[in-house]
Amino acid sequence: MRAADSENDFDLRRLVEFINEQKYLPPTDLAALKAADRTNDVGITSLGAIGLVVAYLKRCGLDDASFNPDWLPDLEFLDGVLRVFKEIDRRAEATRV
């Protein structure tokens, strides 16, 4: 279980919303994500995590060329997914500047 703080809660809420928008993933909630460390703990497989990131890239207006292979090991953990999402946010912001 990860330590709670307001910024982390905000990120987790965003992640919950985004996961629940993906109809190919099992629905989840904030409590479940807070209690979990690995994406598998909330029913998301490694392939599902890849799909989640791919979908987030598309949401942010980026294409598949932005998929960084170094992300793969991170996707096993929820904190890793959050880090990847933040990096995607930064890249998307950079393209808008």
Partner 1 sequence: MTKKKYLKGLAYVLGTRERRYRSIEGISDILRANQLPLLPDLLGLGSFFVTEDPFEEATAAVGRTLVTAGLAPNSIEHVIVCSSDSTDRFSERNRKSASLLHKWQIAPIVTRGVTGTGCVNLISAIDLASAAVDLGNAKNVLVIAVEGAVFSDAGRVLNYALLSDAAVSFVVSDAGSSSDPNLFEILATRVESCMSEVGRGMSITKTSPDREFVKRTLEVAGSTMDRVSKVFGNNIFLPMKTGREGLIGFNRSQMYLENVSRTGHCLGCDSVINLLDHGVSEPGAEHVLYAEAEGHFGCVVLKQCQPMSAC
Angle at 73 between CA 72 and CA 74, to 5 degrees: 90
Residues 77-96 that bind partner 1 (CB under 8 A): none
CB of 7 to partner 1, least distance (A): 27
Residues 5-44 that bind partner 1 (CB under 8 A): 22-25, 44
In whole angstroms, give the CA distance from residue 95 to residue 9.
27
CA nearest neighbour of 83 among 44, 53, 59 = 53
Interface residues with partner 1 (CB under 8 A)?
22-25, 44-48, 50-51, 53-55, 57-58, 63-65, 67-73, 75-76
